[in-house]
């Protein structure tokens, strides 16, 4: 359904240069590397005039000054109401169409405070019709050597079945934009494969997803379990933000513990230190394959503008990876894909079940046009 979408010829990336634990000392070098590697990219760098000074004279680069910075520990309220000229907000605002109907950038990247980013993006850009809550999708490495996309990892707790359907639709668009796979398989995270398993919300979500699958709107695989994320059983795993957060943090905790134990064991005795020396190249490859910087950050989906979140602790390599992913997504027109899928799926689902709790402006269009 999306193969007709032509990639963008040029991609304009707005960057919140002040975000993240390290700010411009990390974001600027990353931007430079990214710029050199992507001749079809233009950059819109946002930050304090002083911080942006080193980028003066860069090719294909526009500098936009902002006077304030959202701190990593600022409350959402502070970011929303007090710091009205923050680099984060100004960077997001680059995605809003101006007077000529055209925005200054196609995608925005920030390593700042997630809560503030989500709130500001939602406030400045608004959600698509049909989407109640934006979601955050992340990429987790899987045993097949690829990445399983998981959403929601934002703070969407108390999700309804309809929200989970929305996540499935938006996530499918993400996979198609990033991997060129137009029929990504979707798994519903549950405590067993059988359809009778799970909470009431999950069982109802299973019904909605099955209906959407039967209607050809998504490629629904069925229920998956926690271990399927790392097995790569499906391209996409959908869950509420609470469960997604616990799964992600638990994985981080386990990976941290395993790393610590490997380190302990290889430094315990002179002999094991020797073994470490011999095993070093292998251990380094192991580390590289798990390098979280390769998949750091995530996409905010459901907004009328494309925002990517880089990990707060990003170094220049991780931030450059986030820029590259944002570039790919924008180039492959993720926003149009999300929009198309929302329109098609929600129009279809509303027709099929009549129960969708979503008020649509899209639905005001003639159904023939929507389908």
Residues that bind its own copies (CB under 8 A): 141-143, 155, 157-158, 189, 191-192, 197-200, 202, 225-231, 239, 241-243, 245-258, 260-262, 265-266, 268, 271-272, 274-276, 278-279, 281-283, 285-286, 289-290
How far apart are the C-alpha atoms of 86 and 80, rounded to whole Å? 9
Least separation in angstroms between CB 208 and its own copies: 18
> Minimal distance in Å, beta carbon 232 to its own copies?
9
Distance of closest approach, residue 151 Cβ to its own copies, in angstroms = 14
Is the bond preceding 148 in cis, omega lying within 30 degrees of 0? no
Q: For residues 53 and 288, which CB has a smaller minimum distance to its own copies in the complex?
A: 288
Residues belonging to the chain: 371
Q: What is the residue-wise DSSP string for 152-172?
A: --SS--S--HHHHHHHHHHHH
* Residue 240: CB minimum distance to its own copies, A: 9
* Residues 211, 349 contacting (CB under 8 angstroms): yes
Closest approach, Cβ 270 to its own copies, in A, equals 12
Q: Nearest distance from residue 216's CB to its own copies, in Å?
A: 29
Name the CA dihedral angle for 332, 334, 339, 345, rounded to a multiple of 10 degrees: 90
Q: Which is nearer to its own copies, 33 or 251 (by Cβ)?
A: 251
Q: Among 339, 351, 308, which Cα is nearest to 129's?
A: 339
With respect to its own copies, which residue has the nearer C-beta, 264 or 355? 264
Location of structure tokens 């993006």: 121
Give the number of C-alpha atoms closer than 13 A to the C-alpha of residue 36, restricted to the C-beta side.
6
Q: How far apart are CA 338 and CA 335, in angstroms?
A: 5
Between residues 119 and 155, which has the closer beta carbon with respect to its own copies?
155
Quickly list DSSP for 117-135: HHHHHHHHH-BPTT-SS-E
What is the enclosing helix (H) or strand (E) of 150? strand 147-151
Nearer to its own copies, 180 or 192 (CB): 192
Residue 174 in contact with residue 303, Cβ under 8 Å?
no
Whichever of 266 and 317 has its CB closer to its own copies, that residue is: 266
Say if strands 147-151 and 307-309 run parallel, antiparallel, or are unpaired: unpaired
We find the least distance from the C-beta atom of residue 75 to its own copies, in angstroms, to be 11
Q: Which is nearer to its own copies, 78 or 262 (CB)?
A: 262
């Amino acid at each position: 359904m999306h193969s007709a979408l032509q990639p963008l010829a040029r991609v304009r990336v707005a960057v919140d240069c002040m975000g993240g634990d390290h700010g411009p000392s990390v974001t600027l070098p990353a931007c430079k590397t990214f710029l050199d590697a992507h001749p079809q990219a233009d950059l819109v760098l946002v930050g304090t005039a002083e911080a942006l000074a080193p980028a003066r004279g860069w090719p294909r680069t526009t500098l936009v000054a902002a006077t304030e910075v959202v701190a990593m520990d600022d409350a959402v309220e502070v970011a929303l109401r007090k710091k009205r000229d923050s680099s984060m907000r100004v960077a997001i605002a680059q995605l809003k169409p101006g007077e000529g109907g055209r925005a200054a950038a196609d995608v925005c990247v920030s390593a700042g405070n997630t809560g503030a980013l989500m709130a500001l993006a939602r406030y400045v850009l608004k959600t698509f019709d049909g989407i109640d809550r934006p979601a955050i999708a992340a990429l987790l490495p899987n045993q097949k050597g690829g990445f399983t996309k998981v959403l929601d990892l934002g703070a969407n707790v108390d999700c309804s079945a309809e929200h989970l359907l929305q996540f499935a639709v938006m996530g499918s668009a993400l996979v198609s934009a990033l991997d060129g796979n137009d029929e990504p398989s979707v798994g519903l995270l549950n405590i067993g494969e059988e359809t009778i398993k799970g909470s009431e919300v999950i069982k109802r979500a299973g019904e909605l997803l099955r209906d959407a699958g039967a209607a050809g709107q998504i490629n629904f695989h069925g229920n998956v379990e926690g271990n399927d994320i790392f097995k790569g059983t499906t391209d996409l795993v959908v869950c509420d933000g609470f469960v997604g957060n616990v799964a992600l943090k638990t994985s981080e905790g386990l990976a941290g513990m395993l790393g610590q134990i490997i380190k302990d064991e290889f430094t315990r005795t002179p002999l094991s230190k020797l073994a470490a020396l011999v095993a070093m190249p292998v251990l380094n490859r192991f580390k590289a394959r798990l390098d979280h910087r390769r998949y750091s950050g995530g996409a905010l989906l459901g907004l009328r503008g494309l925002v990517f979140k880089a990990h707060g602790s990003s170094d220049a390599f991780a931030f450059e990876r986030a820029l590259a992913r944002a570039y790919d997504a924008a180039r492959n027109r993720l926003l149009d894909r999300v929009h198309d899928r929302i329109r098609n799926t929600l129009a279809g689902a509303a027709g099929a079940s009549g129960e969708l709790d979503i008020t649509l402006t899209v639905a005001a269009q003639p159904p023939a046009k929507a389908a």
